[in-house]
Amino acid sequence: MGLIPLFFFDCVVAILGKDREPVASGFLYGDFLSKEGDTSLYGVYLVTNRHVFEDLKKVWVRFNPQKIDEPARDYDLILLDKNNQPLWIANQNEEIDVAVIPILASKLREHAMQFAYFQSDFHVANIEKMKDLGIMEGDFVYVLGFPMGLTGAKRNTVIARSGTIARIRDTLNKDNQEYLVDAFVFPGNSGGPVVSKPEALAITGTKSQDKSYLIGIIKSYVPYQDVAYSLQTKRPRVVFEENSGLAAVHPIDFVQEIIKIHRERTKE
């Protein structure tokens, strides 16, 4: 039985590069702004990896219409302004592979697109929240996205893969900028979300999880390299690289930090 809230799939976005070929994944993030009566207001952002946006002037993002018999629709997303300056925002540290760009959710509603976003005050667990939840090595997670450009023939169809957290304690202590998930990811998964899996059972000393949270963004797979050496010269001749089955994941804190920077800039 799957334990992913159905609207989580509508938060995931296929990103298309040159020739409108699928190149990466992303997701919509709703940054809580204020509350008007019973209505919460959010600023909506597209989140992906910075290496997806670098060296590109434009990408396309694909959404499904609400009418299930209609094909997916591509929207162009301009990445540079008229002075060739990035419209997207990233951390000053280039090793943090996260990029954020605001989008007009109102346009998607106007066109009756099927979409949702992770709400920062309900569906998101940053490092402090993960500590409170007791998230640790061995906890199950889901990786959502479009590996190898597999977006679906007619409409976007998100691929969900399961895994477990392999190493996270150093990240929870803020000694590392990423944690590891034991799950196979491939080109196309870049920028996709990692969500926790609810668990009703827990052993003594651990906490059960009754809710699924957005807990990270895929950075890349961790490669395993095997070097072939020459018997005569003892020098390396060929390097064989394989997918180790481990994925590097940035905690969601970096997304929140970048959005905070954007909000401060727009106030100036």
Lowest mean pLDDT, pick from 67-71, 85-89, 143-147, 203-207: 203-207
- State pLDDT tens for residues 110-122: 999 999 999 999 9
- The pLDDT of residue 168: 98
Checking if the pLDDT of 42 tops 80, the result is yes
Q: Is the pLDDT of residue 37 over 90?
A: no
Q: Note the pLDDT of residue 138.
A: 93
Query: Range with the lowest mean pLDDT among 61-70, 188-197, 218-227, 257-266?
Result: 257-266
Distance CA 215, CA 171 (A): 12
**pLDDT of res. 223:** 93
Other residues' Cβ atoms within 10 Å of the Cβ of residue 164: 14
Residue 155 — pLDDT band, cuts 50, 70, 90?
A: very high
pLDDT exceeds 80 at position 44: yes
Sign of the alpha-carbon dihedral angle for 107, 111, 117, 119: positive
Where are the alpha helices (H) located in 153-252, listed in sequence order? Answer: 169-172
pLDDT band at 267 (very low <50, low <70, confident <90, very high): confident
The dihedral built from the CA positions of residue 260, 265, 266 and 268, taken in this order, carries a sign that is positive
Q: Write down the pLDDT at residue 202.
A: 66
| Closest to 21 in 3D by CA, of 158, 186, 187, 144 | 187
For residue 106, what are its two tokens?
């109102």
Residue-number span of the structural domain to which 161 is assigned: 6-267
The answer, yes or no, to whether residue 98 has pLDDT greater than 70, is yes
* Cα separation, 36 vs 104, whole angstroms: 20
CATH code (residue 120)? 2.40.10.120
Give pLDDT, residue 2.
Answer: 67
pLDDT at 3: 82
**1 confidence band (pLDDT: 50, 70, 90):** low
- 104 within 8 A of 56, measured Cβ to Cβ: no
- In this prediction, residue 268 carries a pLDDT of 60
Query: pLDDT band for position 250 (50/70/90)?
Result: very high
To the nearest 10°, the Cα dihedral for 268, 37, 47, 267?
Answer: 0
Number of domains in the chain: 1
The predicted structure's pLDDT at residue 67? 96
Strands 22-36 and 39-48: antiparallel
- The dihedral region occupied by 19, where left means phi > 0, alpha psi between -120 and 50, and beta the remainder, is left
Judge whether residue 265 has pLDDT over 90: no
Whether 78 is in a domain gets the answer: yes
- Nearest to 25, CA basis, from 169, 139, 143: 143
Contact predicate 141/217, CB 8 Å: no
Specify if 1 maps to a domain.
no
Mean pLDDT of all residues belonging to the chain: 93
Q: What pLDDT does residue 209 have?
A: 78
Answer yes or no: pTM beyond 0.85: yes
